């Protein structure tokens, strides 16, 4: 049923097993599956209101009207929603996003998860998690995982075209209680977007084939480790998979390097703390910021340990978070 207006909230996720590379750019189908932890920080709140007076969609983010490529992405996404809903009415989209945009902290994941959830309700599309996850994927691949609470695995899809589209979505998986400390090395927008960089990796990096084959195996091993609540194995896979992704990116031509000297120092500190008895593991998406994985019970101790070593950095303690959900307008 069409409600004409809906508001949704979604949170970012950080991948333990990374997504890097599309085998089908139009449908946003990945070369490999991935697995992530949805967090309880940096929510995005998005309202979609159908407005018959509009000749095209409008989009405001954090109280500022958006133009250019970001607006076109939202309009293209809403065109897909309208096509599926059999509707032609345009919409006003109003979003408040607390994630630093373009800094490698999954701003597009929470953004398109919230937009998919609100738009589906406003235009009368199905709002079950599998349908929302498939739809959110078309806006941003990692957004399909932010539909899901806690730990989510994104299936790469079986076959091609419509069959692959129907079978590529995220769903919840079991696992231990995990948390992260996010070290904000830089909140500035990246000079090279993830979309551009992953395309270049697939086309130019000699390490890409190895990344695909090893990540497929990493995902299998990670699901087994989570099911067994083997935290040590979960952490080892998380850290090594992140470094393999960055190694593949470092093989790009022209060169792209997301990790800064401070990022590398954070990885080194995680290793040093393990040697001192605090079992933590580092990971980083496509940007300089580093997330330190820990047991939920060790979250405050982990944050304190990094605060001593990196007093100049903002350190954000994050626990497992909820999936995307509809809410009332503020």
Same structural domain, 171 and 183:
no
How high is the pLDDT of residue 103?
A: 46
CATH code, 191: 3.30.70.890
- Please state, rounded to an integer, the average pLDDT across all residues of the chain: 95
Same structural domain, 204 and 288:
yes
Same structural domain, 115 and 227:
no
Overall domain count for the chain: 2
Residue 213 belongs to a domain: yes
Q: What does DSSP say about strands 58-61 and 91-97: parallel, antiparallel, or unpaired?
A: parallel
Same structural domain, 190 and 302:
yes
Same structural domain, 184 and 250:
yes
Residue 234 belongs to a domain: yes
Residue 325 belongs to a domain: no
How high is the pLDDT of residue 106?
A: 59
User: Is residue 1's pLDDT more than 60?
Assistant: no
Residue 328 belongs to a domain: no
Same structural domain, 155 and 214:
no
CATH code, 46: 3.30.230.10
Same structural domain, 251 and 147:
no
Pick from 150, 175, 200: which residue ends a domain?
A: 175
For residue 136, give its domain range. 5-175
User: Is residue 274's pLDDT more than 80?
Assistant: yes
Percent of the chain with pLDDT over 90: 91
The span from the CA of 11 to the CA of 117, in Å, is: 12
Same structural domain, 27 and 170:
yes
Residue pair 2/88 in contact (Cβ under 8 Å)? The answer is no
**How sure is the predictor about 105, in pLDDT bands with cuts at 50, 70 and 90?**
low
Residue 153 belongs to a domain: yes
Same structural domain, 41 and 186:
no
Residue 329 belongs to a domain: no
Percent of the chain with pLDDT over 70: 96
Same structural domain, 158 and 27:
yes
Residue 142 belongs to a domain: yes
Helices 208-227 and 231-250, interaxial angle, to 10°? Answer: 170
Pick from 175, 195, 210: which residue ends a domain?
A: 175
Residue 327 belongs to a domain: no
How does pLDDT run across 207-239, given as a tens digit for each residue? Answer: 999 999 999 999 999 999 999 999 999 999 999
Pick from 153, 175, 197: which residue ends a domain?
A: 175
Q: What is the value of pTM for the model shown?
A: 0.94
Same structural domain, 81 and 33:
yes
**How sure is the predictor about 126, in pLDDT bands with cuts at 50, 70 and 90?**
very high
**How sure is the predictor about 298, in pLDDT bands with cuts at 50, 70 and 90?**
very high
Same structural domain, 73 and 204:
no
**Mean pLDDT, range 53-76, rounded to an integer:** 96
Q: What are phi and psi of 233, to 5 degrees?
A: -65, -40
């Amino acid at each position: 049923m069409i409600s004409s207006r809906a508001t949704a909230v979604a949170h970012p996720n950080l991948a333990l097993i990374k997504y890097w590379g599309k085998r089908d750019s139009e449908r946003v189908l990945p070369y490999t599956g991935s697995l992530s932890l949805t967090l309880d920080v940096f929510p995005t709140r998005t309202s979609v209101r159908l407005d018959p007076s509009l000749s095209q969609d409008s989009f405001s983010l954090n109280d500022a009207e958006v133009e250019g490529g970001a607006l076109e992405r939202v309009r293209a996404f809403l065109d897909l929603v309208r096509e599926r809903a059999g509707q032609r009415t345009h919409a006003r989209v109003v979003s408040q996003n607390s994630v630093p945009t373009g800094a490698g902290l999954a701003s597009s994941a929470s953004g398109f998860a919230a937009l998919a959830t609100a738009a589906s309700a406003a235009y009368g599309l199905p709002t079950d998690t599998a349908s929302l996850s498939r739809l959110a994927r078309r806006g941003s691949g990692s957004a399909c995982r932010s539909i899901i609470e806690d730990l989510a695995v994104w299936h790469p899809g079986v076959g091609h075209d419509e069959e692959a589209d129907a079978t590529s979505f995220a769903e919840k998986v079991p696992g231990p209680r995990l948390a992260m400390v996010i070290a904000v090395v830089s909140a500035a927008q990246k000079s090279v977007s993830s979309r551009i960089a992953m395309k270049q990796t697939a086309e130019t990096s000699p390490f890409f084939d190895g990344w695909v084959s090893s990540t497929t195996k990493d995902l299998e091993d990670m699901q087994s480790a989570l099911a067994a609540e083997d935290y040590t194995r979960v952490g080892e896979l998380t850290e090594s998979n992140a470094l393999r992704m960055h190694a593949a990116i470092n093989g790009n031509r022209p060169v792209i390097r997301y990790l800064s000297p401070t990022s590398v120092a954070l990885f080194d500190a995680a290793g040093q703390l393990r040697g001192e008895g605090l079992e933590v593991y580092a990971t980083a998406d496509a940007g300089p910021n580093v997330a330190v994985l820990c047991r939920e019970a060790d979250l405050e101790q982990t944050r304190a340990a990094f605060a001593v070593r990196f007093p100049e950095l903002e350190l954000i303690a994050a626990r497992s978070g909820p999936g995307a959900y509809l809410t009332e307008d503020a």
